[in-house]
Amino acid sequence: AQSVTQLGSHVSVSEGALVLLRCNYSSSVPPYLFWYVQYPNQGLQLLLKYTTGATLVKGINGFEAEFKKSETSFHLTKPSAHMSDAAEYFCAVTLYNFNKFYFGSGTKLNVKP
Amino acid sequence: GAVVSQHPSRVICKSGTSVKIECRSLDFQATTMFWYRQFPKQSLMLMATSNEGSKATYEQGVEKDKFLINHASLTLSTLTVTSAHPEDSSFYICSARWGEKLFFGSGTQLSVL
């Protein structure tokens, strides 16, 4: 079975500071990993994904994530936070057949001016 | 980019009535659609997986007679909440799979009085 754990339900950073949102996964087979962002009362938008190949993946809005198999992690980072980054972020895992996506509990990012 | 349209965005209904939520993939054919339920400040809970032309696969603990899912075409899936109760009040989100990507509708806030 697959599962995702996001450490920290709330993260607060100052504008311009580094953003680090943590995601650890559990999977018996090589996983496909995703980060999504959700703004209030909206659906989710894909930020980035890892399936195969390069372990450092770049997404939209300056976000990137690195797949570390040894640490079973897929942390999301952004060098410099912007006020518009304030939202809730979800890490998700699926298998090669994309039959089911499992989401973490989410991390709400607050960006202080 | 691919667009998934979900309607209505908000619905208020009386207890005991049924509510239908539509999910359409506007510019691609989605062989698989997913329905999620999201409680306040929580993650998305997968309710069911819907494949075009076949019966939906429900997750454990989800009442299939209460949450009726119909995936009549490659671009439309519907979720009907039958005999709604106040505890059914929640944010429902659909998503459609296209290849390796999952696209989300904007969600439906259901309030049962």
* pLDDT tens digits, B12-43: 999 999 999 999 999 899 888 999 998 877 77
Angstrom CA distances, B90 to A74, A104, B11, B39, B98, stand at 29, 18, 10, 6, 26
For residue B1, pLDDT beyond 70: no
Q: Are B103 and A44 in contact (CB under 8 A)?
A: no
With beta carbons under 8 A apart, name residues in chain A contacting B92: none
- Express each pLDDT in B43-101 by its tens digit: 788 899 988 888 899 999 999 999 999 888 889 999 999 999 999 999 999 999 888 77
Q: Are B48 and B57 in contact (CB under 8 A)?
A: yes
Percent of chain B with pLDDT over 90: 64
Is the Cβ of A42 closer than 8 Å to some Cβ of chain B?
yes
Stretches where chain A sits below pLDDT 50 are none
Is the Cβ of B46 closer than 8 Å to some Cβ of chain A?
yes
Rounded Cα–Cα distance for residues A55 and B21 (Å)? 38
Residue B70's CB is within 10 A of a number of other CB atoms, namely 15
Chain A residue whose CA is closest to B50 = A99
For residue B2, pLDDT beyond 80: no
Is the Cβ of A52 closer than 8 Å to some Cβ of chain B?
no
Chain A residue whose CA is closest to B94 = A43
Is the Cβ of A28 closer than 8 Å to some Cβ of chain B?
no
At residue B4, what is the residue type?
V
Chain A residue whose CA is closest to B107 = A43
With beta carbons under 8 A apart, name residues in chain A contacting B105: 43
Query: What pLDDT shows up at residue B98?
Result: 84
Asked if A43 and B97 come within 8 Å (Cβ–Cβ), the reply is no
Query: What pLDDT shows up at residue A27?
Result: 85
For residue B6, pLDDT beyond 80: yes
Query: What pLDDT shows up at residue B52?
Result: 81
Higher pLDDT, A33 or B102: A33
Rounded Cα–Cα distance for residues A57 and A64 (Å)? 6
What is B39-85 written as a DSSP string? -TTS-EEEEEEEETTSPPEEPTT--TTTEEEEEEETTEEEEEE-S--
